[in-house]
Structure 1
Amino acid sequence: MDSGGVIVITGAMAAGKSTVADLLASRLPRAAHVRGDLFRRMIVSGRREVTPRPDPEADAQLALRYRLAATVADEYARAGFTAVVQDVILGPDLATFTAMITTRPCHVIVLAPRPEILARREERRPKRGYGEWTPAALDASLRDETPRIGLWLDSSDQTPSGTADAILAHVRTSAGDVPAARG
């Protein structure tokens, strides 16, 4: 992939999505890193965080965040950039999100380090992402509820650079993980 496609990187918090997405985008000739969480942080007042308890407003804001990220990814791709989208997209939301992206090829990468690695990484980072969630709970959602779309990487024992290498190898040999929409 030289330019113009979309690469979606998802996984639980502390899976290494931001670091790997930055590395990946820097290795491509024309790429943009679309940070889904940026759209959440743009809501200055009235923001509702996603928690383990269902909340219709938080769910609506999450759906908005995903729509915005998909739209931005498509626009970058239309302009000839590879859009590297990075966000926590778990469960059935992954299939819904990838269906919103009209650009092909669309590659899906799921970073799935072991739960104890997620917990260790979370302890070491300056930002705290889990809130009411635990690494084990998000990992269970990832493994038990998320459709097996794309390349799933257990990046527990990989460096970020090694993970980016594995993703690039997949992208360069794959036609895409999401089929084109049927007309």
Structure 2
Amino acid sequence: MKFIETNIPDVKIIEPAVFGDDRGFFMETFRTELFNQHCGERVFVQENHSKSSNGILRGLHYQTENTQGKLVRVTSGEVFDVAVDMRSDSKTFGKWVGVILSAENKRQLWVPEGFAHGFFVTSDSAEFVYKCTDIYNPSAEVSIKWDDPSLAINWPLENHKNPLLSEKDELGLAFSNAPTLTGF
């Protein structure tokens, strides 16, 4: 596995070694020892799997309690995946990283605790799998507006068409009004 630096040092792209032939392929998607060496020691307590259609944007989400680190990957289709630094004491506070994750490139993204996370489906549909370092706590969840101008995320929207959002994400907070996180 390769651990690739991004412009935010704590966010990592993880690229597996894929061994394939005419029968299919094999890849190791996670090994505790390697992950801890490159990303810091974590224990994952929950794993989730979602499916979304083309044009759906989920996020930008984070929790103020039970703050979750997420190791994310796509098992079918393709997404543009984004992590936004919400740690007010960080040099990269308010900065974002965006990467294409797909079943084809088999990359993963490590989104540490203290980051908001979201993704936009660029294929017909996508299945998204992610391990979390803490449990989902809906009472502590925050949603930031996907198109907040102070973040200026360069989402790959087709023909500048707005994405499909949940009601929760339609009502997302401006970045300037969102609670910040410390101590990470």
TM-score above 0.5, yes or no? no
**What is the TM-score normalised by the length of structure 1?**
0.30
**What is the TM-score normalised by the length of structure 2?**
0.30
Greater relative contact order (Cα < 8 A, sep 6+): 1
Q: Specify which structure has the higher proportion of helix.
A: 1
Q: Specify which structure has the higher proportion of strand.
A: 2
